[in-house]
Amino acid sequence: MGGQAKGKKKNKPKRNENCPNRDAGFAVLSPQERVKLRMHEKAKKKTAEKYSVQQLLEKTEECMDSFDFEMAGLFCQRALDVESTNLHALDMLGHISSELGDTQKAKGVFLRAVELSPDVGHSKYMYLGQIHAGQEAVDYYSRGIQVLLSALEKQTQTTAQAGAAAQPDEDPELPTAKDVSVAYCSIAEIYLTDLCMEEGAADKCREFIERALQYHHDNPEALQLMASYLFSTERNQEGREYLLKSVGLWLPAQKQSAASSSTEEGVQSEIPPYESRVTTAKLLIESEEYEMAVDVLEGLLEEDDEVVQVSNEKNF
């Protein structure tokens, strides 16, 4: 009564306690890190406005084709900044990181791809198998083979439905029976090396080599692995036969490539990887096939004459 009315307080809007503080992570950054983050966000926005993901991936491929993997990595990362779940970009970045020797980054990228698409795309499992050892590697290769076989079955069904007259041209991106064979070889090799002391390792090794040959009977790698297996079980004559058959499938192509300085993809694809041919040379020397061993070693030295091991074997 008669008292002075109190001034009305302006109510400040209350913070909604249920809303997460989106800037909480930003607040703990140093001033330099904040500037870097803002610049990165601006670059992302600018990239998205200027280039499509497809254009960025095309630039990535161009850089990879010219072996400029550092620049390829930059373009590929830009593509992922715009579309973080793009599986093709993840696969490319994984391989780029591998080429640059960043195994940990490659592993993280491929595991992300597995998380996003566990049942499509076998190559991520093949790579994860390569960077792991023992049973863990076997598990990744086995999962990759499951994905491969599923993809091959779908291809067969599609072809059957389309009919022979409507078969499309062969697509190099599609998985093949040869891919399955190579994957089985990878598992067999683990039982010949890392897991050789495991119970039943020899039987498993032979089983996986036979599966590899079932899917591609002229796979030089599978034939050479069978030779190694037979040598390890002291069946030397059988092993020698498999070894000579393996070398006979690709050595003429290596000689042709050396004679003509050819880099044609068809010729090069017939020749096994460098490390595999180093093993070939060792097995040929052990089998006293010295002339053929020299041919293999000369081919290796023409590719890289700084590998001491290869030079020593040739001198021997």
pLDDT at 42: 55
Which pLDDT belongs to residue 174?
Answer: 83
Kindly list the domain boundaries of the chain, sorted by start residue.
39-116, 218-316
Same fold, 39-116 and 218-316: yes
Task: Quote the CA–CA distance of 126 and 169 in Å, as a whole number.
Answer: 26
The pLDDT averaged over each successive group of 10 residues in the chain (316 residues) is: 47 47 55 62 56 91 94 94 93 94 94 95 94 95 96 86 58 83 96 93 96 96 96 93 95 78 59 90 93 90 69 57
The predicted pLDDT at position 1 comes to: 44
Inter-helix orientation angle 220-232/236-260, to 10°: 150
CATH topology of domain 218-316: 1.25.40
CATH number, domain 39-116: 1.25.40.10
pLDDT attached to residue 305 = 65
Give the pLDDT of residue 237: 94
Compute the C-alpha angle 194/199/201, nearest 5°. 50
pLDDT at position 283 is: 94
21, 24, 26, 30: CA torsion to nearest 10 = 160
